[in-house]
Structure 1
Amino acid sequence: MEQSLHRYPSPDGLRVLMASSEAHPLIKTGGLADVAGSLPIALRDLGQDARLILPAYPRAARQLREPKTLCEIKVPGARSSVRILSGSLPDHDLPVYLVDAPEHFAREGNPYTDLSGRDWGDNAERFLLFSRVVAQLAQGLPALDWRPDVLHTNDWQTGLAPALLKDVPGRPATVFTIHNLAYQGLFDRATFDRIGLPSSLWGMTGLEFHQRLSFIKGGIVFSDRVNTVSPTYAQEVCTPSRGCGLDGLLRQIGTRFSGILNGIDYREWDPAVDPLILQPYDQGNFGLKAENKLDLQREFGLTRNEGAFLLGYVGRLVEQKGMDLILGILPGLLQDPDVQCVIQASGERPLELAIQTLAAAHPRQVGVSFGYDETRAHRIEAGCDAFLMPSRFEPCGLNQLYSLRYGTPPIVHRTGGLADTVVHASPAALDEGRATGFLFDAPTADSLWQGVQQALTLYRGNPEGWRRLAVTGMARDFSWEASARCYLQLYADAIAERRLAGAQSTQPEAA
């Protein structure tokens, strides 16, 4: 590893430009923001020169520390010049570049949808422009006096950048990370014709996907290395049942595709020093966690009862996340007056209405908060006894990692990153001190019910066993450092691939 990186010239380590459509704490809708806000910092901690670029949404621009205009550039498809703003994260010296194109990004709220929850009608134009700017910056801008060795793009919103760079001499190595293959950035052929992409990019070997334009396919086809966010999910998406129509392509690229497990930022998520919770605690004083439980019950208007079994959920209300499975079992669970549930979620309106109806029928047992609130998410992790995560599929998942750190054993479907990070509380694993949570094998309400019943039985019947389960999870190391080292190796592989391809392209043809 050290030898391979040593060959690449940079006194400040490998130069990495990470492109993302969101990054915590500037703007966040999901796990992508956590990764984009944490991985570059972990890379810098390892001595690399990592930097971040994302659109200049108003919320992001307001939070940028020491912002200044770096330059203005001409971009095809933009009516006026695009400003590049530079600064850093509010709480870290990570260099950040914002793409300031008001016509495309000066919209309050969600980066992808309007206030009614519908996709912005010009998303193709918006993220093509972003990809064009990323591709320009990856080639080096005079005002920047910096050029990356590796361009690391993430999800469909940045997938066109590697495609735009494919024939650029001396381009950086490219890495593309799939955070959720179900979101592909699909548009009709008329959109492809309208937005001005080179006609050579249309076709089965380019951006065409069943006669539609696929942004994510650009990242997969044209990047030197492609990965997703857990080893098990990488295997799953190579099958027809989980590949969302792209399994054949992922199998075809072979060893260029892999899985690297996400980490979490223990500076943000550590119950021993978390300023957002009432009572800090750690493995040595696990009993103090109960104070956070009582505080959470008070906050949500639940019966204050330290002995109640309090379940938590934080996430989106979409089919993938399995909220319908939770709703399928809660009426039965709530017949027990000492079972409670706290939910923080947003998404599909029918699920919101169903949760509201349930909470209205059980106001002292069910607490609900719609929307995302970072502070409340911390308090739910610290205050609940167990965390529900019955996702039908889960590329990596972060909430189960937060739950482990906070001694809140997760109850999860055995899939993707959940299977990679949670050790099931089988009798043998409990006896050996390896268990950290509960896994069930089928994404059904019955299987989830069995998982919750197993957790409830251990919680009530063996309090010391429950404490050992919780503190074992707290001791697991899912910090970003290990993941960042894996990404360094991926970058080295991408650079080697790029150099090999460049050498082959310059060889004279045989007579």
Structure 2
Amino acid sequence: MEQKQSLKILVVSAEVVPFAKSGGLADVAGSLPQVLAAKGNDVRIVMPRYREITQEMHYITDFPVQMDWRRETCIIRRSQIGCNSKGETKEIPVYFVDSYHYFDREGMYCHLDDGERFAFFCKAVLHMLPKINFQPDVIHCNDWHTGPITFLLKHKFKTDPFYKNIATVFTIHNLQYQGNYSKDILKVFDIDESYFNPEQLEFYGRFSFIKTGILYADVINAVSETYAKEIQTPEFGELLDGVLRKRSKDLYGIVNGIGAEQFNPNSDPMIYKNYDVNHIELKKDNKHGLQKEAGLPLKDVPLIGLVHRLVEQKGLDLIIDVFDELMNFDVQFVVLGLGDLYYERMFKKLQEKYPDKVAAFFEFNEALAHKIYAGADIFLMPSRFEPCGLGQLISLKYGTIPIVRAVGGLVDTIQDFNLGTATGNGFVFEEYSPEAFFQAVKRCLSIYNDRKDLWDNLVKSALTSDYSWDKQAEKYIHLFRLATEKNKLKIFQESCKI
């Protein structure tokens, strides 16, 4: 059987672990390239160089980028992340788009000129390629920050032979975040106003980064099969469902994976005690360690964990609505996260109301997150919507049983526990209501309290589940090849018109 040629892949993301992170996008952009590279592909990553990034890096080149009437200097720096390929350590180049004007400031996002900042990033990424002598087969664009790259390649760079064979895959990690800005951004991109219409770049009177990515990518990907279907409906489509339905033939869904070594209770240096499926009794040591660190009594009661951005999407209002009823049970609750001030205040009040049962941490703390995944018995994820979700995958890896709502990637990864057949790997509810959520919680607690044999089997099943990147990376490689074929076909069709 003929072996397929390896691909040259450029992964473009606004955040990448271990350099900068605000959410799951960074985890995906940091871990997927490692598996792609381990499979023999030439993978490079590019991201902005924010002030908070302190890792050592080296100057590569610099060049001007035209931004409307003025020029801004772009400096390209380079670092790397390592991956293991056939027993050998391999380095993946990570390029940083550096600009003192746009990125040397506090915080990655939420600046008044974010549209202009990421316009600069998109343009700089494309101008960078010939200067670093890298001509990718495919550019993997991630989320709204990178959407315009797909248009620029098709319309601004298509006459340059260096770029014409480069295909694009655009992955939607969360359709709610769209990057919609004033029409003035057209000048920054040097895009003719004729493109600013509802069938192309205009979105309710604004220029939409994410709509641009959806319209002009060769292939579109969402981070789970169910989410790919959901976003084509008015309920989940964030006003873009019509655009997505038009491109449904090019829309796919691939569930995210997690780093097999990054989240491994048998070797994780951040947790209190390592354990595996053959030593599940050691998980209790992690529970006791978490109880001590959280200031909770050392008791063998169900310990419920929550590690999320504290935002409405995560279904936190359901938890708050049933919290007093939940506290009627002999349970403990630990929450870690940052987000909306409303939710931080609510969980702070609940901690004050139930000091022996509730511990709340409002911070970004990767080590504590791992300790909660390892030390908790139950993990809550009652999301309003969830494109993929990594929390439920990580919790399974640590033998912590998730309670989730039947949406997005949660549907694709968590099967409801069936008492009759003793099958399933979590507890699932469908209706977005406090009653439906609380019924799932009670079912879970009853198994924990009354059927230790079934609970231990659940934990063992979770610990042996495989949601690593290996299989998912193969699906991405298939999409990348599909994108290159589609791009070649478009080039051929255009040449026939001439």
What TM-score results when the alignment is normalised by the length of structure 1? 0.92
- Pairwise CA distance, 1:409: 0.6
Partner Cα distance (2:192, 2:296) in 1: 59
Tell me which residue corresponds to 1:188: 182
Identity %: 39
**Structure 1 CA distance for aligned equivalents of residues 395 and 119 of structure 2:** 37
Provide the C-alpha distance between the structure 1 equivalents of 2:12 and 2:195, rounded to a whole number of angstroms: 21
**d(CA) in 2 for partners of 1:185, 1:208:** 12
How far off its partner does 1:250 sit? 0.9
Is 1:437 paired with 2:431? no
**Is the partner of 2:309 in helix, strand or coil?**
strand
Q: 1:452–1:362: structure 2 CA closer, same or farther, 3 Å change rule?
A: same
2:153 counterpart of 1:165: yes
Query: Matched residues in 2 for 1:383 and 1:253: separation?
Result: 44
Distance 1:429 1:147, change over 3 A: farther
Deviates more, 1:189-198 or 1:318-327: 189-198
Structure 1 residue aligned with 2:461, among 442, 463, 472? 472
Report Cα offsets for 1:468-497 as digits up to 9, x if no partner.
011111111111011110000000100000
| In structure 1, C-alpha distance between the alignment counterparts of 2:123 and 2:355, rounded to whole Å | 51
Q: Secondary structure at the match of 1:271?
A: coil
Q: What is the match of residue 141 of structure 1?
A: 130
Distance 1:200 1:76 in 2: 20
Pairs within 5 Å for 1:313-324: 313-324=306-317
Residue 64 of structure 2: aligned partner: 74
Give the alignment of 1:99-110 within 5 angstroms: 99-108=97-106, 110=107
Alpha-carbon distance in structure 1 between the residues aligned to 2:347 and 2:188: 42
- Residue 61 of structure 2 aligns with an amino acid whose one-letter code is C
Counterpart position of 1:123: 114
Letter in 2 for 1:206: Q
Give how far 1:3 is off.
5.7
Equivalence map 1:21-420=2 (5 Å): 21-60=14-53, 62-64=54-56, 67-77=57-67, 79-89=71-81, 93-108=91-106, 110-112=107-109, 119-137=110-128, 140-142=129-131, 144-167=132-155, 168-169=158-159, 170-192=164-186, 196-305=190-299, 307-336=300-329, 338-420=330-412
**Is contact 2:310-2:316 (8 Å) kept?**
yes
- Paired with 1:439 and 1:133, the residues of 2 have a C-alpha distance of 45
Question: Aligned residue for 1:489?
Answer: 478
- SS in structure 2 of the partner of residue 93 of structure 1: strand
Counterpart code for 1:364: D
Q: Deviations over 1:123-156 (max 9, x none)?
A: 000000001112223xx323x1221110000000
Structure 1 unaligned regions, length at least 5: 7-12, 113-118
Q: Distance in 2 between matches of 1:467 and 1:376?
A: 24
Task: Quote how far apart the aligned CAs of 1:5 are.
Answer: 3.8
Cα distance, 1:102 vs. partner? Answer: 1.4
**Residue pair 2:414, 2:428 contacting (<8 A) in 1 also:** yes
**Do 1:236 and 1:242's aligned partners in 2 also have CA atoms closer than 8 Å?**
yes
Alpha-carbon distance in structure 2 between the residues aligned to 1:103 and 1:292: 46
Q: What does the per-residue CA deviation read over 1:409-435, in whole Å, with 9 as the maximum and x for residues that have no partner?
A: 1000011000100111012441xxx41
Structure 1 residue 460: deviation in Å? 0.4
Label 1:90 to 1:105 Cα distance change in 2 as closer, same or farther (>3 A). Answer: farther
Q: Which amino acid aligns with 1:129?
A: F
Cα offset, 1:361, TM superposition: 1.0
The number of residue pairs the alignment matches comes to: 484
Residue 472 of structure 1 aligns to a residue whose secondary structure is: helix
Distance (Å, rounded) in 2 between the aligned partners of 1:177 and 1:342: 33
> What is the identity, as a one-letter code, of the residue corresponding to 2:60?
L
Moved over 3 A (4+): 2-6, 190-198
- What is the distance in 1 between the residues matched to 2:60 and 2:493? 37
Amino acid at match of 1:205: E
How much does 1:319 deviate? 1.1
Q: Tell me which moved more, 184-193 or 125-134.
A: 184-193
> 3-state DSSP class of the match of 2:72?
coil
Deviation at 1:89, TM superposition (A): 2.7
Q: 1:249 to 1:315 in 2, by over 3 A?
A: same
Residue type of the partner of 1:97?
Answer: Y
User: What corresponds to 1:9 in structure 2?
Assistant: none
Structure 2 CA distance for aligned equivalents of residues 269 and 425 of structure 1 = 24
Instruction: Flag structure 2 segments of 5+ consecutive residues without an equivalent.
Output: 84-89
CA positional deviation for 1:508: 4.6
Structure 2 counterpart of 1:275, one-letter code: P
**SS where residue 152 of structure 1 aligns?**
strand
What's the counterpart of residue 506 of structure 1? 495
The 8 Å contact of residues 186 and 192 in structure 2, kept in 1 or not, is answered as no
Tell me the CA shift for residue 235 of structure 1.
Answer: 0.7
Paired letter, 2:379: F
Contact preservation (8 Å) 2:66, 2:72 = no
Structure-1 separation of matches of 2:219 and 2:126: 17
**CA displacement at 1:228 relative to structure 2:** 0.4
Instruction: Tell me if structure 2 keeps the 8 A contact 1:325–1:445.
Output: yes
Q: Output the CA distance in 1 between the equivalents of 2:192 and 2:449.
A: 64
Offset at residue 375 of structure 1 (A)? 0.5
Asked if the contact 1:5–1:14 (Cα under 8 Å) also holds between the matched residues in 2, the reply is no
